[in-house]
Amino acid sequence: MSVVPSTDSSRTPAEHAGRRHQVLVIGSGFGGLFTTKALDAPEVAVTMVARTGHHLFQPLLYQVATGILSEGVIAPATRDIIARQRNAQVLLGEVEEIDLVARTVTAGSVTGRTTYGYDSLVVAAGSTQSWFGNDQFAEFAPGMKTIDDALELRGRIYGAFELAELAAAAGRDEDARDLMTFVVVGAGPTGVEMAGQLIELSRRTLSNEFRHIDPSTARIVLLDAAQEVLGSFGDDLARRTRRDLEKLGVEIHLGAKVVDVDATGLEVEHHDGSRERIECSTKVWAAGVKANRLTRTLSEQTGAELDRAGRISTNPDLTLPGHPEVFVIGDMVSMEGLPGVAQGAIQTGRHAAGQILRRVRGEETGQAFEYFDKGSMATISRFRAVMKRGRIELTGVPAWVAWLAVHLFYIIGFKSQLSTLAHWAISFLGRDRAERTVTEQQVLARLALEYLGEDFLRSSLRTSRGEQVRLREQQD
């Protein structure tokens, strides 16, 4: 794509050149995809540059991690989704530079770097996991932002049960107990959903499958530095969620800040300053996000402020100061009342697309974005969820049914919806999980489990008494 020279602001460069207005969209998440779809108009040509070839439905990542859904269901190919939209194309690339003066975006891929020009730019690169300045925790307490993260977690979770079985078979009950301790850090919706699923997995799905361990005795711990579970849902739903989780068997530690993490456990500091170590092989970090680092370059070039989470302040219409042709949307935006949720990205994306079309059509632009809150929901376990929309609060089965319907509605594509329904029936009406495959790469994912593997190997082959490790008799 050639670089488009910038001209006066009353006419778009495309109009000067007598060709279609070129829109470049960075990212294929909720923001990028819904912007592109809303730009299905003959006056514009849309190029979507994204780091992955798929559109990811992040709210269901925890179901991939716990074996309910396959990755394909929540991450369909972006080019398949927009195949019929003839004015749009998708190109793989990780954006490294944005030059607002030259109106260019440079992206890298395995084949090298490419520079694209644009008439309008929509930056929808989302957010990444935040370990609050302790990035060294990531190795042992991975987050859940990508398909790779979810598959790695699946490997760690199912791998931990396998290793626990081996340890118990060899008579190393203490190791087995640590391997069956799962700690979820962060008691927001993702942490709650993850903890609930770990309970269901251990108490229902795996309950009859092992001979040396009893998976239903697995310890599931949910930690948060805050004093509430699901604090953003209000006191009543927070209390109700905590009660439900505890009834299911989740151990909840609030006011507990994680201060250290290693291969075999983590350390928390309580409000009174005391410290406690929890031995556990599997940790899941569901505690925080920070905006994609592209906000930094945008801030440097425009003077727009960044907040503590790295999100950028935009004009009310989502453009950047001095750049009516550049929109920032979704998780990257810092705006009063705009939450970092899928609806925030979808609605900002549609607004940006609307503004671009108005500009191209010579209509008045600059209308402020207004977020319409459609409510929040989180599942606790099968048949149990909480939902809040304005003053309406739902719990239990009605909230769970609403959750199913909303998520099914937003999953892209009829095939994926059908497949999701089938998988949910298997997991929620039955006990099984259809997606438990774990490859060796996943079990030994990154270094953390390799370290654990070495420790495990050393202790299991420890023959201080010159004895061979013998399997215990199989339990009935």
Under a CB-based contact definition with an 8 Å cutoff, are residues 356 and 23 in contact? yes
Catalytic residue among 43, 97, 174, 193: 193
Judge contact between 20 and 43, C-beta under 8 A: yes
Q: For ligand FAD, what does the binding mask look like between residues 344 and 363, x meaning CB under 6 A?
A: xx------------------
String marking each residue 267-306 x if it binds ligand FAD according to CB under 6 A:
-------------------------x-x------------
User: Can you tell me which residue has the tokens 């791998």?
Assistant: 159
Q: What are the two backbone dihedrals, phi and then psi, of residue 67, each rounded to the nearest 5 degrees?
A: 85, 10
Q: Using the minimum distance from each CB to ligand FAD, give the nearer residue, 292 or 381.
A: 292
Do the Cβ atoms of 164 and 456 come closer than 8 Å?
Answer: no
Binding residue (CB under 6 A) for ligand FAD from 13, 27, 196, 215: 27
Site for ligand FAD in 101-160 (CB under 6 A): 124-126, 144-145
CB of 374 to ligand FAD, least distance (A): 9
Q: Work out which of 31, 76, 155, 354 binds ligand FAD, going by CB under 6 A.
A: 31
Q: Which of 4, 26, 185, 452 binds ligand FAD (CB under 6 A)?
A: 26
Pairing of strands 21-26, 44-50: parallel
- Output 168 or 329, the one with its CB closest to ligand FAD: 329
Minimum distance of ligand FAD from residue 453's CB (angstroms): 26
Which of residues 137 and 456 has its CB atom nearest to ligand FAD in the complex?
A: 137
C-beta of 141 vs 213, nearer to ligand FAD? 141
Q: Applying CB under 6 A, which of residues 14, 44, 45, 50 lies at the interface with ligand FAD? A: 50
Q: Is 450 a catalytic residue?
A: no
Residue 58 binds to ligand FAD (criterion: CB under 6 A) = yes
Site for ligand FAD (CB under 6 A): how many residues?
Answer: 33
Binding status of residue 330 toward ligand FAD by CB under 6 A: yes
What is the number of residues in the chain? 476
Measured CA to CA in angstroms, residue 472 lies from 130, 169, 174, 384 at distances of 43, 5, 15, 39
Which residues would be at the binding site for ligand FAD (CB under 6 A)?
Answer: 26-32, 49-52, 58-59, 61, 94-95, 124-126, 144-145, 189-190, 292, 294, 330-331, 340-345
Q: Which residues are catalytic?
A: 193
